[in-house]
Amino acid sequence: MTQLLSNGSRGLAVRNLQAALRLDGYAIAVDGDFGDETEAVLRAYQRKVGLVDDGVAGPKTQAALKGFDTSRYLKRKDLQQAANRLGVPLASVMAVNQVESKGEGFAANGRPVILFERHVMHERLQANGFSEAEADALAVAVPAVVNRTPGGYLGGTAENQRLAAARMVHEESALESASWGLFQIMGYHWQRLGYQDVQHFADTMALSEAAQLDAFVSFIEADPALHKALKARNWKQFARIYNGPNYAKNLYDVKLARAYAQFAGEQEKAA
């Protein structure tokens, strides 16, 4: 797993990052101390290659420095387009991306990051024509993928195996029962977000992180209260709607406010 490096980090991983930036032509001290100088240089590099210039060396930035293909990664221009579409400052979208996204839209196997929800599968089977008794019978037969209660998570790429098993039960319900991509949008939202069907939604999530962001923007547009909260930068209301009643426990509103202030301040300095 790639180590996340940011201002305040120290050690060999930071030294390697600085050395890679130096090899790319940046005048930077290779001292293993991630301070303001390293952050400024890193942001410049991120802007040069088109990545989100958040000053954090995560797996995407480190992959770019190693020369790997970054074509499916989220770019700054994607965030700007999302901000324009939503009618909000770029800093707002950058804050939401930092706090609410999973950081990576694709797993190590190249497939979209997913989390399969077996209790949603129980519900979606009934929404797709199965009787409650039939759904309960399947819960007895294959409880790992059909169940009245949440759970059974395996995490990572193993979630694809759970999805594959669920697809053997019922294709459409299975795809609707997984959350997809950077922002973990549930498949059953496909119609509300304007996709032709759930397979079209799943195929689109496999294209790029930009396509996943587009689904998230559609999700915000489809909820007037959520969109209004974002426009007003009412982070408490935004977090309450998006994250649910436990938003305060996880400090989502506080994290969003801090991230927005940081990005807005940086953009004001750069202007």
Residue 165, Cα to own-chain centre: how many angstroms? Answer: 24
C-alpha 91/C-alpha 267 separation (Å) is 8
pLDDT band at 3 (very low <50, low <70, confident <90, very high): confident
Per-residue confidence band for 70, with pLDDT thresholds at 50, 70 and 90? confident
Q: Residue 26: is its pLDDT beyond 90?
A: yes
Alpha-carbon distance 234 to 194, whole Å? 27
CA 168 to chain CA mean position, Å: 27
pLDDT given for residue 54 in this prediction: 87
The single-letter code of the amino acid at 211 is A
Tens-digit pLDDT profile for residues 92-109 = 999 999 999 888 899 888
Could you give the angle at which helices 224-231 and 76-86 cross, rounded to 10 degrees? 110
CATH of domain 1-70: 1.10.101.10
Mean pLDDT of the chain: 94
How confident is the model over 34-48, as a mean pLDDT? 94
116: which strand partners? 178
| Domain segments of the chain as ranges | 1-70
The answer to whether 105 touches 182, Cβ cutoff 8 Å, is yes
What is the predicted pLDDT for the residue at 32? 95
* Portion of the chain with pLDDT greater than 90, in percent: 83
- Report pLDDT for 154: 95
Structure confidence at residue 268 (pLDDT): 77
Dist CA 264 CA 56 (whole Å): 16
Q: How confident is the model at residue 120 (pLDDT cuts 50, 70, 90)?
A: very high
pLDDT of 41 strictly over 70: yes
pLDDT band for position 271 (cuts 50, 70, 90)? low
3-state secondary structure 2-62: CCCECCCCECHHHHHHHHHHHHCCCCCCCCCECCHHHHHHHHHHHHHHCECCCCCECHHHH
Tell whether the model's pLDDT for residue 1 goes beyond 60.
no
Give the pLDDT confidence score for residue 266 in this predicted structure. 81
Average pLDDT over residues 186-205: 97
The 10s digit of each residue's pLDDT in 217-251 is 999 999 999 999 999 999 999 999 999 988 988 99
If you search the block for the tokens 């059953």, which residue do you land on? 188
Q: pLDDT at position 218, please?
A: 97
Q: What is the pLDDT of residues 153-162, one digit of tens each?
A: 999 999 999 9
Q: Which pLDDT does position 2 carry in this prediction?
A: 66
**How far is 248 from 48, CA to CA, in rounded Å?**
37
